[in-house]
Chain A
């Protein structure tokens, strides 16, 4: 059974119909974290976040406090919040921007105060029409409430937030492509080095880019203290985390659970959470951290939901999405569909990703739809190797950004774990699950 005694940190208002309104937010302790923040030194605010050991919730899992402290050596110009969540089966930020936009805005103001920046941008996926509307309303309300703009709550701190809608490209969730997009350019990722946002970011200035969920944790951390946050979870993985559970489970949805104290089995099978596999079928495999993550089989069900724990097994918690495949799911089709997504969303800038994703997608399509050859398996793996040399974890890359090196994960996993399914497709000349 899952351990669910930890407080809900970012999804505490989920039960309220009007969770997105300023009234409800104020009623439930909203902007108290900010008021407290404004009485602290910026360094002390950053120290609380450091103490919380809050890992970035965008996918890479870099400690937010450390990201900030690296920057405090030189003045930061901009804070950019990445809400361009666009991956299939990833919808935790979607939940946050729609259900608790004030929590996000308050978090942004706290982070901006800690970094002492005067301008922040919240970049939200263009397809989140409702989320955009609610975040913009929250920003407007925050201005009216005195929580944003000039001299916030009569302090000496001033901040402006611009809400910027994305224009429909997954790649703009990559932080440097997002910055290009904010600058009005085509969303091509920049090459790192030298274009680390912390050094040369938005408009060439030092910029902090943080994820929506990371920001949404800040009001609680400041109100309750970093130590309280760090007391949750185990080891490096502190606090709680939102997981978007999808695929063949009875109760797909967003769940906030304490880290490490729970396992994949808990979140998939606990009746209060995933509730088990659809029609009580057997689990075939699951994707532990979004479609760029290597897959796990049933043997990993008891692995704890912790960053290092999952990392040690050759995958990641990544974007916080868990996708379940049951015994009737076709792993070839799943891998092909994921590849097709990456192929369509490759920005087209660098060769291995642009051409490799399309080539692999077409080969996977053939394999799934009956035109495959056995040698295609070696071919596809070799093409994957030319994008992510060595096919190891974490992946190396021949590409500019990590979209490229994300392509091989599903293909490699599917072929490694379910070679027989591929052979069955080849021999049958069609998908056996059709």
Chain B
């Protein structure tokens, strides 16, 4: 006889048998059966607490039918449940009445009014009148608990959604309950403000108007809002979002619950940076990211002046025509902020029309694109289910915040092993099974020791025991292991990291990789061929050779290259070596295609205004290779165009056609010529995007659930069973004329000689921070004040050795001079290293990286002097 594994259990709900998965929560099972149970504290993405008691139903037990919280009870075979008896109704009505007893009648002035689960469920379940004649509870309202979040304690119904999110999902302990009885309140930590980069999620899941977001407060009423679903491009995780506007003004971005990606969560930068798009109408300074470029600009007598599209395009075409006369005279950088369709159009223009192989979507701050394309890829889900996760990245909470949430959830819930390689702070550090502390310039040595089974290299600050423990968790072939690799340090040559990654990939053939590059659609731009040797549709032409961004800047300096197309983003603001970039642009004819002002425009001869996110249609590809749609919600300002149109017009003026006249046509062309999903994704409403080449990673889209994520406008009524569209086969990637990258394409690099730091120097690392000086932050009036100023982070051993205290301002000397910076103690910093954040300025407005970056060496070293 064979054991039959039961895949369903049968229970009776109101006398009707229903079949559901074993272990399912009763509240979910009933909903599937069409019996919607009202709820407040229950949230499908968090552990149930059974606190609000709104979901009480009768469950038969040994002592007869008793009232039990449906959100807390797991279904069992033969369970008898009543959800519609008088007793249930009275209990639920009673709870609702209790909740309303102390709830103020703020609805007319409350942000949540019109999209409030308490309001909605009062309408469906509540009595029309109040029996409560007492004075309601009073608190000072509202109080600021963080820089972006306000708390009105009078409105709070103590559902613990926010505190659970902070504790359970984000791992923050900045808000918790204090007090008791009906004076219980959510309170911020007395010592630490609620400045979590995830604070906006608590506002989104609040089922009443207790938590409100400062940027959105009083800015709209829900019934005035229109909504589209789109994909966030603030970083490369690709969170699904609902973008809402009132007229042509963006008002709010909310997380959409996507199974494979973000589970409804967003970081505060993704959520609140929308006012960088339409919130700075007054800003006119072309060198400021806060300024939107809405008209074509042409430099005349040294000044950028507004001109017509015809004039600007003709000027641009003329620059390109002249430069293209000399071989290798023209190239393009940037493209990570484009859609796949925009990137595809520019690739056709640069390679096809201008005949140049010099193009690069990364600003020298990423990784070798051929290495990236060759690595066996893991999805976010796979990384979040891996038995062992190995990270060689910057702080994921700062770089790819929602990926951090996904990985953290796995480590905490499933107790998977995390092995970290790193020299800087990491929000995952406390959860790591093994932390291999390395200094900049040592990643490849650590990787070699790990892979070869040899001892820790001489001078290493990790031990052989730690190394051996890491090996144990990785196993022999890397089966079930996901390596998360990214560019942790901009003050270190990428070859160090690439060598480490190559060793991992060779040594552990069964391991997969998740590439933690953070910039918006960098993966899509690379997939569209925006890098030397790459071709649209993830192709590689191993015979080709072209200049990457740093090579192009060098060629511009040397006069070998004449013209540069800058595609979106700010080149100066993103390269590690800004002084060198400035020197290069000084000598070049620069055409900037951008939606925002920035330092690069100081060097532009022509500026072509492009539509940015939420203004354009298309697809983007996230870190795992998931292609998903972006949808416009507002019209681009002035006469900004989508990139496809700009590239197509330029091509016409250059006497050739790229054969694209619309975004849809570009998407169609991508799909037809390379098999890369584009148009099919734009037209697909059933799935959460498509992972390129991974038909198995397809995931059906969730029904929107405004009860779990209030504010989301849903046409799918609450209480209807989940969306069950048919599973369609998704397009698998079929390779076109070019071949896909493979590890064998990679020429092994010569031995990397980093050089040993002398005893007086510290090795510099420059890591990314979420709140940097990029467009999203600088352009957003709400977020701009959160940008921190520079500091130099040191380990206590080094602080002691140098005899300085945290907070002291020291003179830091690097390759190009000195800068004054306060030192801060950070135990996460590897001994012998010193850390700065990219994109921050000191109190004198100087960028430390400009001074401390060493272009001559693979690593940068700094010395400290106390004044």
Interface residues of A, Cβ cutoff 8 Å to B: 169, 171, 186, 191, 343-352, 354-359, 362-363, 366, 379, 383, 385-387, 389, 396-400
Please name all residues of chain B whose beta carbon is closer than 8 Å to the beta carbon of A169 when the two chains form the complex: 180
Instruction: Given A354-B184, A358-B102, A386-B97, decide whether A348 and B69 contact each other with a Cβ distance below 8 A.
Output: no
CA distance A347 to B53 in the complex (A): 15
How far apart are A189's CB and chain B's nearest CB, in angstroms?
11
CA distance A89 to B131 in the complex (A): 33
Q: Mark B178-191, 1 if CB is under 8 A from A, else 0.
A: 01111110000000
Q: Is A346 a contact of B98 with CB atoms below 8 Å?
A: no
Q: Is B97 a contact of A191 with CB atoms below 8 Å?
A: no
Which residues of chain B from 155 to 195 have any CB-CB distance to chain A below 8 Å in the complex?
Answer: 157-158, 176-177, 179-184
Candidates A344, A348, A366; contact of B158 at CB < 8 Å:
A348
Give me 22 A-to-B residue pairs in the complex whose CB atoms sit less than 8 angstroms apart, sorted by A's number. A171-B180, A348-B177, A349-B51, A349-B184, A350-B53, A351-B52, A351-B95, A351-B98, A351-B158, A358-B137, A386-B90, A386-B91, A386-B95, A386-B98, A387-B94, A389-B87, A389-B91, A396-B67, A397-B67, A398-B67, A398-B91, A400-B51
Is residue B366 contacting chain A, with contact meaning CB distance below 8 A? no
Q: Which residue of B lies closest to A346 (CB)?
A: B181
CA distance A383 to B53 in the complex (A): 15
Instruction: Given A345-B181, A389-B91, decide whether A359 and B50 contact each other with a Cβ distance below 8 A.
Output: no
Please name all residues of chain B whose beta carbon is closer than 8 Å to the beta carbon of A350 when the two chains form the complex: 50-53
Having A171-B180, A350-B50, one finds 7 other A-B pairs with CB under 8 Å, namely A186-B177, A191-B69, A344-B181, A354-B98, A358-B137, A387-B94, A389-B67
CA distance A352 to B56 in the complex (A): 11
How far apart are A398's CB and chain B's nearest CB, in angstroms?
5
Q: Which residue of A lies closest to B157 (CB)?
A: A351
How far apart are B742's CB and chain A's nearest CB, in angstroms?
48
How far apart are B175's CB and chain A's nearest CB, in angstroms?
13
Q: Which residue of A lies closest to B185 (CB)?
A: A348
Q: Which residue of A lies closest to B137 (CB)?
A: A358
Q: Is B53 a contact of A351 with CB atoms below 8 Å?
A: yes
Is residue B101 contacting chain A, with contact meaning CB distance below 8 A? yes
CA distance A343 to B50 in the complex (A): 20
CA distance A96 to B158 in the complex (A): 38
Residues of B in contact (CB 8 Å), total 36
Which residues of chain B from 29 to 52 have any CB-CB distance to chain A below 8 Å in the complex?
Answer: 50-52
Q: Which residue of A lies closest to B87 (CB)?
A: A389
Q: Is A343 a contact of B51 with CB atoms below 8 Å?
A: no
* Chain A interface helix/strand/loop/mixed: helix
Is residue B426 contacting chain A, with contact meaning CB distance below 8 A? no
Is residue B66 contacting chain A, with contact meaning CB distance below 8 A? yes
Please name all residues of chain A whose beta carbon is closer than 8 Å to the beta carbon of B93 when the two chains form the complex: 386
Q: Which residue of B lies closest to A362 (CB)?
A: B134
CB-based closest 4 A-B pairs: A386-B94, A348-B184, A355-B98, A358-B182
Instruction: Given A191-B72, A398-B56, decide whether A355 and B66 contact each other with a Cβ distance below 8 A.
Output: no
Candidates B53, B102, B184; contact of A398 at CB < 8 Å:
B53
Please name all residues of chain B whose beta carbon is closer than 8 Å to the beta carbon of A385 when the two chains form the complex: 90, 94
How far apart are A191's CB and chain B's nearest CB, in angstroms?
5
How far apart are A412's CB and chain B's nearest CB, in angstroms?
16
Please name all residues of chain B whose beta carbon is closer than 8 Å to the beta carbon of A357 when the two chains form the complex: 181-182
How far apart are B259's CB and chain A's nearest CB, in angstroms?
27
CA distance A145 to B409 in the complex (A): 49
CA distance A351 to B177 in the complex (A): 14
CA distance A249 to B662 in the complex (A): 93
CA distance A359 to B134 in the complex (A): 8
Q: Which residue of B lies closest to A378 (CB)?
A: B131
Q: Is A359 a contact of B101 with CB atoms below 8 Å?
A: yes
Please name all residues of chain B whose beta carbon is closer than 8 Å to the beta carbon of A346 when the two chains form the complex: 180-182
Candidates A347, A363, A386; contact of B134 at CB < 8 Å:
A363
Candidates A191, A355, A396, A400; contact of B102 at CB < 8 Å:
A355
Q: Which residue of A lies closest to B97 (CB)?
A: A386
Please name all residues of chain A whose beta carbon is closer than 8 Å to the beta carbon of B216 when the two chains form the complex: none
A186, A385, A389, A399 pick with most chain B CB within 10 angstroms: A389
Q: Is A348 a contact of B94 with CB atoms below 8 Å?
A: no
Please name all residues of chain A whose beta carbon is closer than 8 Å to the beta carbon of B180 when the two chains form the complex: 169, 171, 344-348
Q: Mark B103-135, 1 if CB is under 8 A from A, else 0.
A: 000000000000000000000000000011011
Q: Is B181 a contact of A399 with CB atoms below 8 Å?
A: no
Is residue B54 contacting chain A, with contact meaning CB distance below 8 A? yes
Is residue B99 contacting chain A, with contact meaning CB distance below 8 A? yes
How far apart are A361's CB and chain B's nearest CB, in angstroms?
9
Please name all residues of chain B whose beta carbon is closer than 8 Å to the beta carbon of A352 when the two chains form the complex: 53, 94-95, 98
Q: Is A351 a contact of B54 with CB atoms below 8 Å?
A: yes
Q: Which residue of B lies closest to A169 (CB)?
A: B180
Instruction: Given A344-B181, A386-B91, decide whether A351 and B99 contact each other with a Cβ distance below 8 A.
Output: yes
Q: Is B181 a contact of A358 with CB atoms below 8 Å?
A: yes
Please name all residues of chain B whose beta carbon is closer than 8 Å to the beta carbon of A171 when the two chains form the complex: 180
How far apart are B448's CB and chain A's nearest CB, in angstroms?
42
Q: Is A351 a contact of B51 with CB atoms below 8 Å?
A: yes
CA distance A351 to B54 in the complex (A): 8
Please name all residues of chain A whose beta carbon is closer than 8 Å to the beta carbon of B181 when the two chains form the complex: 343-348, 354, 357-358
CA distance A350 to B91 in the complex (A): 13
Q: Which residue of A lies closest to B64 (CB)?
A: A396
Please name all residues of chain B whose beta carbon is closer than 8 Å to the beta carbon of A400 when the two chains form the complex: 50-51, 53
Q: Which residue of A lies closest to B67 (CB)?
A: A398
Q: Which residue of A lies closest to B92 (CB)?
A: A398
Please name all residues of chain A whose beta carbon is closer than 8 Å to the beta carbon of B91 when the two chains form the complex: 386, 389, 398
